[in-house]
Amino acid sequence: MKNFVLLVAVFLSCSIAGAQNLKEPDFIGEAFILKSDSTSLPLEKETVKIKTKAGASVYIVGIGKVKSKIEVDGCCSNTRTATNKSLDIVVRSVDNQTDPLSIISLFRFDNNRKVRKAELSSTGTFSGGSNNNLDYIMFQGRKFGESSYIITVPEIEDGEYGIIVRNPNSLDEKSTIVSTFGIGN
């Protein structure tokens, strides 16, 4: 019986010690990929440009679409991970009392050799306007630490991705920072 109690105590102390190695990101909006060996891979942080462009037909005949997109320089993120069946990402927020789906946006970029782009909104002469056009990736979230979430993406394809964390307590948003990463080569 003493050996059993000792074995349980050793097991619990080892599991608690291992769990304490993983800390929350330092700042709001920072994120890291939680790897299978319980180590972390910090995501690259990028400042975005918001660009609005109209199609040529808008200028020529007054009919067409105007699109607003966020752009990040470079074809791909330096933070890469292999294709996984599922992916866990730790994201720091103001607190973790809000539903993570309402403040964390995980989306896919369209990319080419120079920039990564994601459409925010579009307005057409006859089609009206639409907002929130990002190619969102659904995830499940759970609390982690004092102010963070672990978001789990069950399946994710190869490509370039970004995460934006909004501050629900602040009306004065600063410049938009996107945490970026890539899946696959």
Question: Is 94 a member of any domain?
Answer: yes
Q: How confident is the model at residue 9 (pLDDT cuts 50, 70, 90)?
A: very low
Do the strands 80-81 and 177-183 form a parallel or antiparallel pair, or are they unpaired?
parallel
Question: Is 19 a member of any domain?
Answer: no
Report the sign of the C-alpha dihedral through residues 158, 45, 139, 110, in that order: negative
In this predicted model, what pLDDT tens digit does every residue of 94-105 receive, in sequence order?
Answer: 889 999 999 999
Question: Is 170 a member of any domain?
Answer: yes
Does the structure show a pLDDT above 90 at 47?
no
Q: What is the pLDDT of residue 135?
A: 85
- The arithmetic mean of pLDDT across residues 33-61, rounded, is 82
In this predicted model, what pLDDT tens digit does every residue of 142-169 receive, in sequence order?
Answer: 999 999 999 999 989 999 999 999 876 6
Instruction: Work out the percent of the chain whose per-residue pLDDT is above 90.
Output: 41
Q: What is the pLDDT of residue 169?
A: 61
Q: What is the pLDDT of residue 15?
A: 41
When divided into structural domains, the chain yields a total of 1
In this predicted model, what pLDDT tens digit does every residue of 49-87 receive, in sequence order?
Answer: 888 877 666 556 667 678 888 899 999 999 999 876 789
Question: Is 11 a member of any domain?
Answer: no
Question: Is 143 a member of any domain?
Answer: yes
Structure tokens at 173: 């948003």
Question: Is 17 a member of any domain?
Answer: no
Q: What is the pLDDT of residue 147?
A: 94
Question: Is 166 a member of any domain?
Answer: yes
Torsion of CA 112, 114, 116, 120, to 10 degrees: -100
Q: What is the pLDDT of residue 119?
A: 85
Strand-pair partners of 30: none
| Higher local confidence (pLDDT), 168 or 20 | 168
Containing structural domain, residue 143: 28-183
| Higher local confidence (pLDDT), 184 or 65 | 184
Question: Is 112 a member of any domain?
Answer: yes
Does the structure show a pLDDT above 60 at 18?
no
Query: Which residue type occupies 139?
Result: F
